[in-house]
Amino acid sequence: MELIMRYIFSAGKSLTKCNINKMIRQIEITYPEGSEVTMTLAEMWMEEGREEGRAEGREEGGVTALSETAIQLLIEKFGKVPQDMKDGIMNSDMATLKVVLLNIFRYESVEDVRRYIQ
C-alpha cells in the first residue's frame, strides 16, 4: 500500500491539496489499515516540504545579502556602478557572488567585475 501511495503522489505532480485530501479520505474508508500509513507519509512529506522551504529561504536571503554587499563595496571603491551590472549582481548565484567579493580588492575598475557577471 505504501509503495502504491508513494508512486501516485510522486507521479502526480499536478495533484492539488484537495485531490490529495480526497484520496486520503477514500483510502481511510476503503482500506482502514492504510490510513495510518497515509498519515505517516503525509507528515513525512510535510516535514520535507518545510525543510526545503527553510533551505530555500536561507539560500535566497544569503544571496540577497551578498548581492547587496557586493554592490555597496563596488560603489564605495569605484563611486558608481552601472545599473546593468547591479542587475547582473542581483541575479547572480551564491558561487559567483563569493568570487566577486573575494576579489573585490583586486579589481582595478568596475568593468573587471563583468567577466563574472552574466
User: For 34-53, how does the pLDDT look when each residue is reduced to its tens digit (9 = 90+)?
Assistant: 556 655 666 666 666 666 65
Q: DSSP string covering the chain, please? A: -HHHHHHHHHH-TT--HHHHHHHHHHHHHH-TTHHHHHHHHHHHHHHHHHHHHHHHHHHHHHHHHHHHHHHHHHHHHHS---HHHHHHHHT--HHHHHHHHHTTTT-SSGGGGGGT--
pLDDT at 76 (0 to 100): 93
Of residues 78 and 9, which shows the higher confidence score?
A: 78
What mean pLDDT, rounded, does the chain reach? Answer: 77
